Each structure stands twice: as structure tokens, then as C-alpha cells.
Amino acid sequence: MDLSSNFLSPRRETRQIHVGNVAVGGNSPISVQSMTTTKTADVEGTLAQIYALAASGADIVRCTCNEEAAAEGLVQIVSRSPVPIVADIHFHHEMALAALDAGVHGLRLNPGNLRKPDEIRQIAAEARDRNVPIRIGVNAGSLHPDLYKRFGGATPEALVESARIELAYFEEVDFSDVKISVKASSVPLMIAAYRLASETFDHPLHLGVTEAGPPPGGLLKGTAGIATLLAEGIGDTIRYSLTADPVEEAKAGRQLLEALGLRERKGLDLIACPSCGRAQVDVIAVANAAQAALDNRNLPIQVAVMGCVVNGPGEAREADIGIAAGKAKGHLFIKGKIVRVVPEVGMVDALVEEAEKLVAEGVEARLAAADSTAEAEAEADRRALLQEGGSDPNSSIAKIEAIRAKYT
């Protein structure tokens, strides 16, 4: 079920561009990007990382093009890559031209570093003639010194003005195949800059908190900025900037979009209760074991690991499949309905087995194959746990109804 259209702000309308075969902007799906950390001249090493990124959810991958050897490497990389390749350019306009000759699907230019108008116009004209889009990649840490002076520092207005100036150079040569980013390492500044950019431009926006750092802090900062804007309908493509294996960036980006209902689930979504005194097992250990066992199976389902059978199946009834512990047993459920009761030691194995069958056969078939005695056995375990641990927390509903009947 797509919840994004019901609960998130409507997505901002933008122009649509194409980075290779990936549409960005308009009504196209929000795409995930990452960047290789290898030397681009190392063709095999870079391709290995690109394939890993693509397998983890990246739709577009960026590679640095900082020297002639990198441009030469791009010739082979572009032709063998499973996803479109964007060349990252910082200081040398010749490298942008060489990357275009290599056949890249896009360029990223930092207007704070590449400052000569004639060179910028030359790159834009070459990109125009080849139908290659450019990202204007503004960064709060590398603005033109004149903008720092004019705006009194790296402000949202300064970041947006940097992009506007660059865009004006592009327009002089009739080039508009552009997406824009206005990144900062400060989450509040990043959010404010993108809000202003969304009001200023109709070009697609590439979201990111730059230099976010290593996980978990980097993940928190990236999510705080990117998710806030996506919930407001702002953003067309995203990248987590983590000090980590870039595969973690791709995974995080994909998982965020799936969590927000902005992309169809393609991978595992494991949910688990935080545990409590009622739990009969080590919920953290079971959840980690389930995550490890299911992670590489590419099952596009939501899996729940719950600490007890008292409330577990009901609280996780929207999950495709789950397991709840109780009385040295595991209670396996599909869409909240108990289908099997297994020994505690075999909980994770049973969960994996049933998950694979669920994906292969479908929900109705697996419900039809349920053990006819499973629900009764689970209910007996539930009642036993309630007797040991006190009244059912859900009995509060009955108490409320009694009060209403007595006093209204």
C-alpha cells in the first residue's frame, strides 16, 4: 500500500531530465545516488564498487574525474556499468570536457571551485550538444568568496544565489538540462536552503547533507535533512554522504524511500519490538539473527520479530510475516494470523523458510496451508503468559467502556 500520497505533502512539480536511462524530476520515482571511493583509473576496482552499489539500491553512481587517467578509465567504466555514471568535476574544466568525451551520462560541477564564466559556458555548450545533464552542486563549505562577503556567511540565500549565477551562465548558451543541489553539513541550514531553492527554481533538486560523517551520527543527520524535505514534497533524487563504505549510502537511501512509501519495496524491512519484562526470549539476539539470515535473500517483505505472543501478532498484524515468542516456542504468523508453532531454538530457521514460501506462493496460499491447531496452541500459551505476568494490557479498553457506562 502506497501511504505517501495519503500522508506526505504533494510532491513539488519540476522539470524532468534524464541521466542515462534514469528519469529525474517530474513524476518519476525519486532516485538514489552514491559515489565511488576508488581511484577512477582503477577500472576493475571501480566497476566492482559500482555493481555493489547498484545491487544495494543505487540508481545513479558518481565517479571523480580529477585527472587524465580518470577520464581514460571512464571510457571503460561507462560502457560496462549497470547504472548511469556521473563525473564529478571540481577545479579543471578540461576534465569535464574529457569526461564528456568518455561518454558519461552526467556531470556535477561545483560553482565555488570552477569559477571562470567562459569555461563554465564552454562545458554547458558541450553538454548541450551531447544531451548530457549537469548538476549544479553548491556546497556551503566552498562558496565563492564574494558570496560569503555579500551574504555574511553561508546562508540559504548565499547557496541559492550561487546556483542562480551558475544557471545564468548555462542559459546564455541555451542549456537547461539541469538539476541543482544546495548542500550543507548543518542540517537546519541544508533544510532552509532547499526550501528556498524549491521556491526559486523549477529544476529537479538533488538532496543531501554533505560531510555528514560516519554512522550512526551521519545516518541520523542525513535522514533528518533528507526525510524532512521529502515529507514536504521537496526532492527528486537523494544521496547520503557517509564516511563509510558507499554501499551503506545506497542501502540507507533505498530504505528511506521505502519507509516513506516513495519507492516500492524491493528488499527486506525488518521491524521488531523494543522488548520488555514480558519477553520470553532475547529479542535483540533473535532480531539480529533474523536480519542476518534474511538480508541477502532479497525478499521484498516486511518481517516482524516480537518478544511475546500476548500482543505481538496483533501489534504487527500489518507485517507480511512475523514470529512471536512464548513458553519456549515461536508463534509464526502471516498478516496477524498464527500459522505455525515451532520450538524456540528453531524460530529463525522457521521464519526464513516460511518467508521464502510466502514470496514464492503468496499470502493466500500460505494462509491456506496453516497448521489447523496453531491458533489454539498460541492462545493457550498467551493465556498462560497472562496468568504469569498479570492482566492483559489491552483490558484497558474494557475498563474505559465500564467507566463510560457508569458515568455517562
Segment (H or E) for 406: helix 396-407
pLDDT for residue 277: 67
Give the type of residue at 277: G
* pLDDT surpassing 60 at residue 3: no
Higher-confidence residue of 333 and 407: namely 333
Q: Mean pLDDT in the chain?
A: 91
The domain that holds 74 is classified in CATH as: 3.20.20.20
Q: Where a domain ends, among 216, 235, 259?
A: 259
Based on the fold, state whether residues 9 and 106 are members of the same structural domain.
yes
**Contacting residues for 79 by C-beta, under 8 A, at least 6 apart:** 103
Cell numbers 517483505 correspond to 301
The domain of 325 spans 269-394
The domain that holds 290 is classified in CATH as: 3.30.413.10
Is residue 404 situated within a structural domain? no
Based on the fold, state whether residues 40 and 188 are members of the same structural domain.
yes
Q: Is 115 helix (H, G, I), strand (E, B) or coil?
A: coil
* pLDDT surpassing 80 at residue 404: no
**Rounded to 5 degrees, what are φ and ψ at 404?**
-60, -40
- Residue 408 DSSP class: -
Q: Where a domain ends, among 238, 259, 280?
A: 259
pLDDT for residue 311: 67
Based on the fold, state whether residues 245 and 278 are members of the same structural domain.
no
pLDDT for residue 249: 97
When divided into structural domains, the chain yields a total of 2
Cα 67 to Cα 92: distance, rounded to the nearest angstrom: 9
Confidence of residue 360 (pLDDT cuts 50, 70, 90): very high
Work out the number of other CB atoms within 10 angstroms of the CB of residue 374: 18
Give the type of residue at 112: G
Based on the fold, state whether residues 288 and 390 are members of the same structural domain.
yes
Is residue 399 situated within a structural domain? no
Work out the number of other CB atoms within 10 angstroms of the CB of residue 67: 15
* pLDDT surpassing 70 at residue 264: yes
Segment (H or E) for 216: none
Segment (H or E) for 2: none
Cα 249 to Cα 263: distance, rounded to the nearest angstrom: 16
Among 12-21, 190-199, 203-212, 304-313, the least confident range: 304-313
Cα 272 to Cα 324: distance, rounded to the nearest angstrom: 10
Is residue 237 situated within a structural domain? yes
Mean pLDDT, range 352-369, rounded to an integer: 94
Is residue 220 situated within a structural domain? yes
Cα 248 to Cα 245: distance, rounded to the nearest angstrom: 6
CA 159 to chain centre: 25
How far is residue 348 from each of residues 268, 272, 332, 359, 393, measured CA to CA in Å? 15, 13, 10, 17, 27
Mean pLDDT, range 41-63, rounded to an integer: 97
Residue of 286, 267, 390 whose CA lies nearest to 331: 286
Based on the fold, state whether residues 284 and 162 are members of the same structural domain.
no
Grid cell digits, residue 124? 554547458
Q: Full-prediction pTM beyond 0.75?
A: yes
Is residue 329 situated within a structural domain? yes
pLDDT for residue 4: 56
Is residue 12 situated within a structural domain? yes
* pLDDT surpassing 70 at residue 393: no
Based on the fold, state whether residues 155 and 223 are members of the same structural domain.
yes
Q: Where a domain ends, among 218, 238, 259?
A: 259
Mean pLDDT, range 334-347, rounded to an integer: 89
**Rounded to 5 degrees, what are φ and ψ at 207?**
-95, 145
Q: Which residues pair with 137 in a beta bridge?
A: 181
Cα 193 to Cα 155: distance, rounded to the nearest angstrom: 8
Cα 215 to Cα 304: distance, rounded to the nearest angstrom: 24
- Residue 325 DSSP class: E
- Do residues 326 and 310 make contact, with C-beta atoms less than 8 angstroms apart? yes
Higher-confidence residue of 390 and 382: namely 382
| pLDDT, tens only, 123-148 | 999 999 999 999 999 999 999 999 99
Based on the fold, state whether residues 311 and 207 are members of the same structural domain.
no
Cα 137 to Cα 114: distance, rounded to the nearest angstrom: 11
Higher-confidence residue of 389 and 75: namely 75
Cα 275 to Cα 197: distance, rounded to the nearest angstrom: 43
| pLDDT, tens only, 203-260 | 999 999 999 999 999 999 999 999 999 999 999 999 999 999 999 999 999 999 999 9
Based on the fold, state whether residues 355 and 232 are members of the same structural domain.
no
- Do residues 59 and 83 make contact, with C-beta atoms less than 8 angstroms apart? yes
* pLDDT surpassing 70 at residue 101: yes
Based on the fold, state whether residues 59 and 155 are members of the same structural domain.
yes
